[in-house]
Amino acid sequence: MNQRPRQPSRPDRSPAAAELPPSIQLACRALGLELPPLAYRSDGSGGWTIIAADGRKFHWNAETRP
């Protein structure tokens, strides 16, 4: 009997997502972003400023996230 491999529950929609640093990947997953961000930068205090593909701006700090 042929069995098809299971599909991942949440496939990467873009190969560019794999090229992001792990902390940015974590932030994007936590924020529910489906596409890789347009830009990101460290804010100097351990957090990140992330510009989503749709133009929204997020300030992410894993230490103080809700």
pLDDT in tens, 3-46: 666 554 444 556 567 789 998 999 999 999 999 999 999 988 88
Q: Is 65 inside a domain boundary?
A: no
pLDDT of 52 reads 95
Q: Is 34 inside a domain boundary?
A: yes
Q: Is 66 inside a domain boundary?
A: no
Instruction: Give the domain extent around 39.
Output: 18-60
Q: Is 6 inside a domain boundary?
A: no
Total number of domains constituting the chain: 1
Q: Is 7 inside a domain boundary?
A: no
Let me know if 28 is exposed, middle or buried by CB neighbors in 10 A (0-12, 13-18, 19+). buried
pLDDT of 65 reads 54
Q: Is 13 inside a domain boundary?
A: no
pLDDT of 45 reads 85
Strand order from edge to edge, sheet including 48-51: 39-42, 48-51, 57-60
